[in-house]
Amino acid sequence: MFATALPSDAAATIPLERRGRGRLVVEARALDGRTVRGRIEEEGFARVRFPRSGRRGRALEAVMINTGGGLAGGDASQSCLHAGRDAHLVVTTQAAEKIYRSDGATSRIAVELTVEGGAGLHWMPQATIVFDGARVERSIGAEVAPDARLLLVEPVILGRTARGERLSYGRLHDRWRIRRGGRLIYADGLQLDGDIAATLDRRATAGGWAAFATLLLVAPDAESRLDDVRVALGLGGAAEDVEPAELPDGLDAGASAWDGMLSVRLLARDGAPLESAIRRAIAALGVGEVPRIWHS
C-alpha cells in the first residue's frame, strides 16, 4: 500500500509516526466521603476536563475530549480509567466520537478500566459514529473488585444516518473482556467485515437497522434490577406477568441477568430511539444519572 506515490494515494502514504495518537490516564480516589482527581496524564489528542456541573453527590465526573475531532485510519486512542478504593468515577465524552472513512489503515481504540474495592466506575461515552468505509478495532477491558460496581454503556451508530448514509464496507471489530476478582465473567465480540450492508440486513443480525448499544452492569446486586429494566424498556416484567410487551417504534431490546451481571442489548433504527432507550434503562438501573453533558 506504500508502493505508489500518486497524489490520490497521499493519504495512504502518511507515515505511521504522523498518524494521530491519544493517551489518557485518569485516576480517581476517595477523600472524606467524596471523590477527587488523582494522577492525570494527557498525551496527543486526548484531554480530560472535570466540569463543575458534573460534581454531584460523591461521584467525580470526567469528560474526555478528542482535540482531533475524530479518528482517521491509523489513529490510535488509549484510555485508562481507574477508580481507587471507595471512589466513584463517571466518565463520558464531550461529543460523539467519529470514525472517519479509512485509507486502508485501521483506527485503534483501547479502553482499560479498573475498579477497586467499594468503588464505582461508570463508563458512558456518547455514541461512536462509524462512517462508511471506516476500519476500526476497539477493545474494552475491565478488572472489577468483587464488591465494586462497573457500568458500561456503549452506543454505536453505523453510518451517518442523518444524511442517509449506511455502513456498507469497511471493518468493525469490538472486543469486550470483563474480569471480576481476576476471573473472566463476560466476553463479547462484534465482527463486521466484507459486505457489511448485506450482513446487517439479515433478520438474525440487525434487520437493516443502524444503531445499537450494549449496557452491562457488574455489581453484587446487579441481577435484582432486571425486572425494573425490562419494564422501563417496554419488555414486560417477569414470566408470570402477562402484561403484553410494548416496545417503542424503531427499537428492539432484550435484557438478561446472571452471575452478578445485568446485560441489555439495544438495536434501533437510528440514534434517537437508541438514546431514549438508554436513558430509560439507566434510570431503571438506579445506580446514577446520565452525565450532564448528554443534555447539551
Residues that bind other proteins (CB under 8 A): 173-175, 178, 183-192, 199-200, 202-207, 212, 230, 235-239, 241-242, 252-259, 263, 265, 267
**Among residues 68 and 237, whose Cβ is nearest to other proteins?**
237
Compute the least distance from the CB of residue 49 to other proteins, in Å: 33
Question: Taking the complex as a whole, how short is the minimal distance between the CB of residue 112 and other proteins, in angstroms?
Answer: 15
Least gap, CB of 72 to other proteins (angstroms):
23
In the bound state with other proteins, the residue whose beta carbon lies nearer, of 30 and 222, is 222
| Smallest distance from other proteins to CB 61, Å | 30
Could you give the CA distance from residue 61 to residue 165 in angstroms, rounded to a whole number? 33
Q: Which is nearer to other proteins, 12 or 200 (CB)?
A: 200
Q: Which is nearer to other proteins, 43 or 259 (CB)?
A: 259
Q: How far is the CB of 240 from other proteins (least distance, A)?
A: 9
DSSP strand pairing (261-268 vs 251-258): antiparallel
Q: Which residue number, 89 or 267, has a Cβ lying nearer to other proteins?
A: 267
